[in-house]
Homo-oligomer: A and B are copies of this chain.
Amino acid sequence: MSHKKSSHTRETAIRGHIVTFTGDPFFHPANESLRDIPDGLILVQDGITQAVGPYDSLIAQLDKNVVVTTYSDGLITAGFIDMHTHYVQASIIASFGKHLIDWLNHYTFPEEARFSNREYATTIARIFFDELLRNGTTTALVFCSVSPQSVDVFFEEASRRNMRMLGGKVLMDRNAPPAILDTAQSGYDASKRLIAQWHGYGRNTYAITPRFAPTSSEAQLEAAAALHREHPDTILQTHVSENIAEVDWVQSLYPNRQGYLDVYDHFGLLGNRTVLAHGVHLTARENARCSETGTAIAHCPTSNSFLGSGLFRVELAKNTEKPIRVGLGTDIGAGTRFSMLETMGEAYKVAEMTGFSLDGVKLLYLATLGAAESLGIADKVGSIAVGKEADFVVLDTKATPLLAFRSQQVESLQEQLFVLEILGDDRAVAATYIAGELAYRRARQAPPPHPKLSTSKKEPV
């Protein structure tokens, strides 16, 4: 179940238009942060990228026995990284009419109670991973349920597919139905066992996962912090400041703390291995504290709109003075799309509503290298580079009649990326590679294209 062992090496080569990041386009111009190789080649050996560059310059290095897979009509980027999602909520996506607290009580808690059933958990986990691959997502940071078994199932499935995944058992010892509560001690013990079993096994990373301040006692937050100190290379993930009523509730539960973020800060839960989902209502002081502690934020636009939570202000995080690491998350099942392309499109709209324009390059960064840096795994994934794990997605700029029609008019890579992000969905994912192996290939598309424009866009008419 861990990395493939083989007596001889396995080599593959992929040719096409390669687009990958070398830096952060929020702080450096695109021509210094984005590598654009119109006819590129990637050489992969045993799941690791050995070379990436122009086809002409690399073809000499290629063993003549290695078959080159060519994608002549698309863009090859690093696999998408979903920074915040709940596999155990895959079946409550598109549930009607609730904001956060009611959503949890009405839909989430009853559904998550089902994950003590291994068969059910396995069925949902497989659907969840299939959806990730259909949508070009190769890595995700995932909430399981309070049941340790739900975590076993999750990492079994991740290992079976050899995907770089991060996740953990929800810690929750109050303010939820008894059937899905643990205690500070039992939650600590179960997490400790799961870390021993899964953390660092194959491509798996364990994430210590208190759901959020309202469902954890002080004792549980202390235990989570202790566990994280004992295993400092795990991730710590939780939620913060998603919804105004939630922020008020936390203040009433923790009256001695200076706001929601300060609860986590007080227990030593912030830091450069911590990922907070949402952060829609963080104050300027709280944003500054995230920056100081190195705490990262997962922005989940489709979820924030669907639950009526509010508009995340990405420009307050991605600023040069007090920068915060940020990536995008789907937040299934409150989020409405598994597609990171559609999540990028929705992030664009949310930013426009706050008066800030996220271009096609910045959006792609938030779903690839930006997320990898936020998760502390940018040495392994997030871009196509020598020595990194070979997780790629091949995007089809002509996946639907409308996308093909619009793509024929683009005049720059930035514009092409933006069109994909606004009009693309799972259909725009032609193929997904995991560690150099083809893990998903889209079935051939059926609808015929629109006619080509007979007059060029730029000609006077």
Contact = CB atoms under 8 A, between A and B. Distances in A.
Interface of A: 90-91, 93-94, 96-97, 99, 113-114, 116-117, 119-120, 123, 126-127, 130-131, 134, 302, 305-308, 310-311, 336, 338, 345, 348-350, 352-355, 357, 359-360, 400-402, 405-406, 409, 414-415, 418-419, 422-423, 425-426, 442-447, 450-451, 453-455, 457, 461
B93 A126 contact: no
A134 B97 contact: no
Contact of A418 (B94, B123, B451): B94
Contacts of A126: 450-451
Given A336-B345, A405-B91, A422-B94, A130 B450 contact: yes
Given A306-B349, A308-B353, A355-B308, A451 B123 contact: yes
A134 B400 CA distance: 11
Contacts of A454: 119-120, 123
Contact of A447 (B96, B116, B355, B443): B443
The list of the 7 closest CB pairs from A to B, nearest first, reads A443-B446, A308-B352, A94-B422, A305-B349, A117-B461, A97-B357, A127-B450
A96 B357 contact: yes
A423 B93 contact: yes
Contacts of A308: 349, 352-355
Contacts of A453: 91, 120, 123
A334 to B, nearest CB: 11
Number of copies: 2
Given A96-B418, A360-B96, A119 B455 contact: yes
A444 B445 CA distance: 10
Contacts of A461: 113-114, 116-117, 120
B418 A352 contact: no
B444 A446 contact: yes
Nearest to A353: B308
Nearest to A97: B357
Contacts of A305: 349-350, 352-353
B96 A415 contact: yes
A188 B386 CA distance: 66
A305 B302 CA distance: 12
B119 A422 contact: no
Contacts of A405: 90-91, 127
B97 A359 contact: yes
A114 B458 CA distance: 10
A423 B94 contact: yes
A455 B99 CA distance: 28
A338 B97 contact: no
A126 B454 CA distance: 13
Contacts of A450: 126-127, 130
A401 B425 CA distance: 14
A305 B126 CA distance: 34
Contacts of A359: 96-97
A336 B443 contact: no
Nearest to A444: B446
Contacts of A409: 91
B455 A352 contact: no
Given A91-B457, A123-B453, 12 more contacts: A94-B423, A96-B359, A96-B360, A96-B415, A114-B455, A120-B454, A120-B461, A134-B447, A305-B349, A307-B352, A336-B349, A442-B446
A281 to B, nearest CB: 14
Given A123-B453, A127-B450, A93 B306 contact: no
A401 B443 CA distance: 13
A96 B356 CA distance: 12
A19 to B, nearest CB: 17
A74 to B, nearest CB: 17
Contacts of A352: 99, 305-308
B406 A91 contact: yes
A430 to B, nearest CB: 13
Nearest to A425: B425
B117 A455 contact: yes
A371 B39 CA distance: 49
Contacts of A306: 348-349, 352, 422
